[in-house]
Amino acid sequence: MTESPGDTTTAESGAGAAPGAGIDGPLAFQDPAYREAVVDLLGAIAYGEISAFERLSEDGRLAPTLEDKVAIGSMATAEFAHVGPLLDRMSELGADPYAAMAPFRSAIDLFHEHTAPSDWYEGLIKAFVGDGLANDFYREIAAYLDTGTRDLILASLEDSGHSRFVIDRVRSAIAADPRLGGRLALWGRRLMGEALTQAQRVAAERDALSALLAGGVDRPGLDLAAISRMFTRLTERHAERMAELGLDS
C-alpha cells in the first residue's frame, strides 16, 4: 500500500498529483473487482442524490416563504440532475443501475429516518452539512480512482451555489433568536454521528468498496494511518461548515 493524499486538499482539487491519477481506466476495468467497486460507489452516490432530492423537496413544505420554497426546490432539482449521468455510466459498465443502487437504500433511508428535520432550519442545515460531509467523503474516495470515474463523481458533487442561501438564512435566524444556535449546534453533531454510523455499516457490508480503499498490486490504497488522516480531514471540514453557519461543532 502506498501513501495517502496527505493532509492537503489534493483530493478535492482533483489535481494531477492525486493518487489515482496514474490509473489507466480501460486497464483498471479489466479487473472485475475494480469494476464492481466502481459500480458500487456510483450506485451509492446515485441513490444518495435521489434520496437527497426527495428529502429536499419535502423540506420545501416547511419553507416559511414562497422564495424559500423556490430556493430549496432549486437545490432539490440540482441534486436530481446528477442522477442521469451516473445511471448511464453504470449501464456502460455493464451493470443494472437499479440493482446497483439497491444495496445502499437501507443505510441511506435509515440516515434520513433518523435525521428527519423538525423545522425549516434543521432542514437547511441538513442540506448544507449532511450533503457537504457526503460530498467530502466521495471526493476523498474519488482520488483513488481512474480519471474518467473521478471526473464523473466530482461533476455530480458540484455545489450548485446554494450554500450562500443556507448560510444567510441560518445566520439571520440565529441573530434573531440566539437560543436557536444551541439547538442547531446539537443538530449538526447528530447529523455527523448518524452519517458515520451508516457509513461504517456500508463499509462493513460492501466488500468490494472496502477492498477498493485498501488498494491492490497495481493501485495505491489507504493504510490505517491514511484512513485516520482522512477522517481528520472530514471532521475538520465539517467544523468549518458549522463555523460558516455560526455554529459550534
Q: What's the CA gap between 139 and 75, in Å, rounded?
A: 20
Q: Which stretch binds its own copies (CB under 8 A): 65-73, 159-167, 173-181, 223-231?
A: 65-73
Count of residues binding its own copies (CB under 8 A)? 25
Strand partners, 219: 216
User: Can residue 73 be called a binding residue for its own copies (CB under 8 A)?
Assistant: yes
**Residues 6+ away with beta carbon under 8 Å from 4:** 19, 222, 223, 225, 226, 227, 229, 230
Minimum CB–partner distance for residue 75 and its own copies (Å): 11
User: Can residue 54 be called a binding residue for its own copies (CB under 8 A)?
Assistant: yes
Q: What's the CA gap between 238 and 43, in Å, rounded?
A: 24
User: Can residue 61 be called a binding residue for its own copies (CB under 8 A)?
Assistant: yes
Using alpha carbons only, give the angle 94, 98, 103 rounded to the nearest 5 degrees: 105
For 241, what's the count of Cα atoms within 13 Å in the CB-facing half-sphere? 26
User: Can residue 58 be called a binding residue for its own copies (CB under 8 A)?
Assistant: yes
Minimum CB–partner distance for residue 73 and its own copies (Å): 5
Identify which of residues 59 and 136 has a Cβ nearer to its own copies in the complex: 59
Identify which of residues 2 and 77 has a Cβ nearer to its own copies in the complex: 77
Long-range contacts of 69-78 (CB under 8 A, 24+ apart): 71/162, 71/165, 72/123, 72/124, 72/127, 74/160, 74/162, 75/127, 75/160, 75/162, 76/52, 77/53, 78/160, 78/162
Identify which of residues 67 and 236 has a Cβ nearer to its own copies in the complex: 67
Identify which of residues 53 and 111 has a Cβ nearer to its own copies in the complex: 53
Identify which of residues 60 and 181 has a Cβ nearer to its own copies in the complex: 60
DSSP per residue, 109-167: HHHHHHT--SSHHHHHHIIIIIHHHHHHHHHHHHTTS-HHHHHHHHHHT---S-HHHHH
Contacting its own copies within 86-125 (CB under 8 A): 87, 98, 101-102, 105
Binding mask 190-229 for its own copies (x = CB under 8 A): ----------------------------------------
Identify which of residues 86 and 195 has a Cβ nearer to its own copies in the complex: 86
Among 67, 159, 218, 236, binds its own copies (CB under 8 A): 67
What nine digits make up the cell of 73? Answer: 426546490
Q: Which residues sit at the interface with its own copies, rule CB under 8 A? A: 47, 50, 53-54, 57-58, 60-61, 65-67, 69-70, 73-74, 76-77, 80-81, 83, 87, 98, 101-102, 105
